[in-house]
Amino acid sequence: MDSAVTAGFDAVPLINDFAPADYNFNNTSLGSTLYNWQFVGAANASISTEKNPGNIRYNSPGLYRVFLQSLNSRGRKDTISKLIRVRPTLSAAFTIEPSFDDIDDYEAPLVATLQNNTISATTHNWQAPGGIISNATDSVPTVLYSNPGSYTVTYIAANEKQTQTVTQTIIVKANTGMRTFNNVKFGINTADASIGSYFSTSLRQAFKSSEVNSMNADAVDICFFGLSNNFTFNKFISPDSTQFFTFPIIQNATTTSYVNVQEACNCGPAFTQAQFDNAAYGSMLNAINLPATGGRNSFSNMMIPRIVLFKNQAGKKGAIKIKQFTNNGLLSFILCDIKIQKD
């Protein structure tokens, strides 16, 4: 009585399955003595009648179908097919991506992620002279540059078959201690829902009152109230006082002090437009004086530009230059530049 024939095989890559990949095929068929192999897409063989056909090479990445027909001397047979995978050949690439705190100015101290875009690497080796790497063998480490300069990062990628080396350069600027925002819009009361009346210097983002929530409330440090499109009554207000100016109360709100009208605050020499424009370092804002009563006065659109001074709850001093009052009915707004000290 003929025994049943059961075709079977295992496919094992010799080193790994990155192209070019050599596969060893181990025949596990039962009850058979004759074999017909078909290797679709293989580089060194398309068919074989050997029980174990040896190493079969695939030069390009992709999925490849392998067929095995197993037979015995009486003509009983069984056929099996399997897909084997060949992954892409090694291709090393990365970018240097500064952290959120550094992406706008590239100033020291700068922390950046070495964003790995490599294909088919199994080991990683990073070199960053002048910087401190969090983990030189990690696939996606970070690097710290404490001082300004031009720095080159070298990345060596390997996968037991190939090794590639690529480099990228980053220029780290000297720390000015200053963060600058240009052309920030603050909508009047009726424009809050469309333009927004709030701003966060730490998140670097304008907000509508409806967008302020438990995740960002304590980061909002500048709020503006404009009564109407005539701009007869305007003032910057502390985030913890918005409920007194028709806006919703901000939970976990912080406090910001202002001098809305320098000419009426009796707080010493004015911080002028020229000083604002020439302020290139945060230390140049140290002389700003903000008395407790400085935020009480409102201003109109009779003076352009107007410099409004402020200090947020974190103790950072800043200045707002109002350079345009735009009358657009219910969607009216002021256009400002902002400078603030940073850590």
Asked whether residue 230 falls in the same domain as residue 99, the answer is no
Name the residue range of residue 292's domain: 178-341
Helix (H) or strand (E) holding 170: strand 163-172
pLDDT tens per residue across span 228-242: 999 999 999 999 999
pTM: 0.85
Q: Position of tokens 């009486």?
A: 74
Query: In the prediction, which pLDDT does 2 show?
Result: 57
Contact 206, 335 (CB under 8 A): no
Question: What is the pLDDT, as a whole number, of residue 64?
Answer: 98
Measured at the CA of 180, the angle between CA 178 and CA 181, to 5 degrees, comes to 160
* Residues 322 and 304 sit within 8 Å (Cβ to Cβ): yes
Contacts of 42 (CB under 8 A, 6+ apart): 56, 57, 58, 64
pLDDT at position 251, please?
A: 93
196, 66: one domain: no
Taking CA atoms, 294 is separated from 53, 164, 225, 235, 311, in Å, by: 88, 62, 16, 11, 11
List, in order, residues 6 or more apart from 315 with CB less than 8 Å away: none
Same domain for 199 and 302?
Answer: yes
Tens digit of each residue's pLDDT (9 = 90 or more) over 186-202: 999 999 999 999 999 99
Looking at the fold, whether 168 and 50 belong to one and the same domain comes out as no
Q: For residue 56, which of 79, 32, 33, 23 has the smallest C-alpha distance?
A: 23
Single out the residue in 64, 86, 108 at which a domain terminates: 86
The string of pLDDT tens digits covering residues 100-122 is 999 999 999 999 999 999 999 99
Q: For residues 234 and 286, state if they share a domain.
A: yes
Are residues 138 and 278 located together in one domain of the fold?
no
